[in-house]
Chain A
């Protein structure tokens, strides 16, 4: 019984493998490993990739890293084993996901890294992204403008070690270092989660510390922090900024709640990644560094990014 099942499984696998090799002869297949499809921003990248793939007539084989670097490495191994023509890696962990690039290089598969960096970025064929440090700098600069260069700052971090968290922290510190009148009085992680940030902000407010501004490394956390500030009635005293420009945050800016956010062009990143992957699969050379700049979003330029529904 077990023997029969094993044989049947092997036959089925062989059948599927044959079908795929036929497939990659006709259409270019690209394996994509997303860092975490439970993140709204990454879903925006996915939408853009799918649309571009449809336009260009390439086939995407998608895998969700689910916030686990090791899973992304396994997924890359699977893509290589399946014989994809190119790989797109959206890394979760700057160090942990780096091995995937090594694997692709060893297997002579072109690999494009998108949205977040890895420690061995130079080994990849191309990088499409926005420099997260710039996002941190833009957010911190906006706060310094509004506070006129002095004040007590609270920073809410993403998950420790996450590529974006590391870089955004760097960017924030770079800017604040230039203003001796500004100090970071508290900082802690809320793991990109709105509820965690809400609780954290509540407790910070309770502690009686003076806080003039909150820089949250993403919008979900900014919205959570704002909710706590509003509940305590201190929204006139404390300003909040986030990063990502998700719809909820844009609405909050229109209502004067958040003082700004930083727009990351998910569509631009996703689309360009697919385009570069296709060209690499066809044997063309592409530029290694493809930076898509972040943009500050405030009430003034909100209309460019959002309209009330």
Chain B
């Protein structure tokens, strides 16, 4: 008789404990990526004091901008159910074409900048049209564009980097407003615009819908073709913009640049919680992914860890992120 109240109390505290764990799991699955980032940054500050200096933070902002700009476009593409393997090559093509119009005293700054973005938009639109109208797989189309754009960049420059660029052009990717690099400001602008489009416009909702179930989206009246073309065109424009930022930072437009950048962008997007099967994701998550990769590269460089180990670490983080994402879905 005296046993029962204790048993009921025991059960209640067990339920409370279970609820506590569920709450923690829910919190982690939503904000886990940000917690991971803070943990990583914290650990690095402890092991390497120079990590948390202002100038190092500036460096990190500078170093993550190019990947970040591409990753915003990649987020929309992946949410729409596709992928863009051409980002790095389009970046190079835009970079060399823009740089060739950026010699000192040659043209107003607006010429190379708009040309670079235009080259990106055109490539992206071409991707989108082939994917939307011809019903070709995004992987194949953007793979073709990746190879063709790189070839075009090499043909345009005869294989040599475009050098001797004007100071005003170089300032785009290399200059700062006080302590904040211009490149980071461009990145911020892209993030704000991207987040607004994705989360606060009808177009953005359509992107999610198309990614979730293209047929259902079409049946419910969404012009899926326009959504897809728009998404790839935007991604192309951002690759072009990234090309301008990169070439101005290194003061040369090289046709060999940007190789593998699409994979870094995809890694950032995936780490940030966007699913490769489409329909789910957020710009905020991508930004966390971008910074996790950037902070890790920066911190490991400071600790003089070889770049080969850095590559292993990056791979492990990607796998870990996908595993956690899979777990939280179940």
Contacts and interface: CB of A to CB of B under 8 A. Distances in A.
A204 B154 CA distance: 32
Interface stretch (B55-63, B122-130, B271-279): B55-63
B256 interface: yes
B94 interface: no
A307 interface: no
B255 A38 contact: yes
B50 A194 contact: no
A208 B256 contact: no
A227 B56 contact: no
Given A188-B306, A195-B246, A247-B163, A203 B256 contact: no
A193 B257 contact: yes
A248 B99 CA distance: 14
A166 to B, nearest CB: 16
A206 B302 contact: yes
B252 interface: yes
Given A38-B159, A194-B250, A208 B50 contact: yes
B161 interface: yes
Nearest to B305: A188
Interface string A138-176: 000000000000000000000010000000000000000
B86 interface: no
Contacts of B256: 38-39, 193
B304 interface: yes
Contacts of A202: 59, 62-63
A13 B123 CA distance: 35
Interface residues of A, number: 30
Interface in A176-216: 186, 188-189, 193-195, 198-200, 202-204, 206-208
A224 interface: yes
Nearest to A228: B59
A199 B174 CA distance: 12
Interface residues of B, number: 35
Nearest to A185: B304
A231 interface: yes
A195 B298 contact: no
Nearest to A247: B163
Interface string B302-326: 1010111000000000000000000
B63 A199 contact: yes
A203 B174 contact: no
B75 interface: no
B252 A194 contact: yes
A43 B250 contact: no
B161 A40 contact: yes
Contacts of A186: 304
A38 B255 CA distance: 7
Contact of B302 (A194, A207, A223, A247): A207
A188 B302 contact: no
B13 interface: no
Interface in B133-180: 154, 158-161, 163-164, 174
Nearest to A37: B159
A6 B281 CA distance: 47
A43 B159 contact: yes
A275 to B, nearest CB: 24
Contact of A206 (B56, B158, B257, B308): B56
Nearest to A206: B56
B73 to A, nearest CB: 19
Contacts of A232: 55
Given A188-B307, A206-B59, A207-B48, A227 B298 contact: no
B15 interface: no
Given A38-B256, A206-B53, A248 B161 contact: yes
A207 B164 CA distance: 31
Contacts of A203: 56, 59, 297-298, 301-302
A207 B255 contact: no
Contact of A40 (B159, B246, B298, B307): B159
B252 A248 contact: yes
Contact of B249 (A38, A40, A189, A195): A195
B251 interface: yes
Interface string B250-269: 11101111000000000000
Contacts of A43: 158-160
Interface string A37-64: 1111001000000000000000000000
B56 to A, nearest CB: 4
A99 B250 CA distance: 37
Interface string A12-32: 000000000000000000000
Interface of B: 48-51, 53, 55-56, 59, 62-63, 154, 158-161, 163-164, 174, 246, 249-252, 254-257, 297-298, 301-302, 304, 306-308
7 contacts: A39-B256, A40-B159, A40-B160, A188-B306, A193-B257, A199-B63, A208-B49
Given A40-B161, A198-B249, A203-B297, 13 more contacts: A38-B256, A39-B256, A40-B159, A43-B160, A188-B304, A194-B250, A195-B257, A202-B63, A206-B298, A207-B50, A223-B252, A224-B250, A227-B250
Q: Pick the 9 closest A-B CB pairs, nearest first.
A: A203-B301, A38-B256, A206-B56, A207-B302, A248-B163, A43-B159, A208-B50, A194-B250, A202-B59
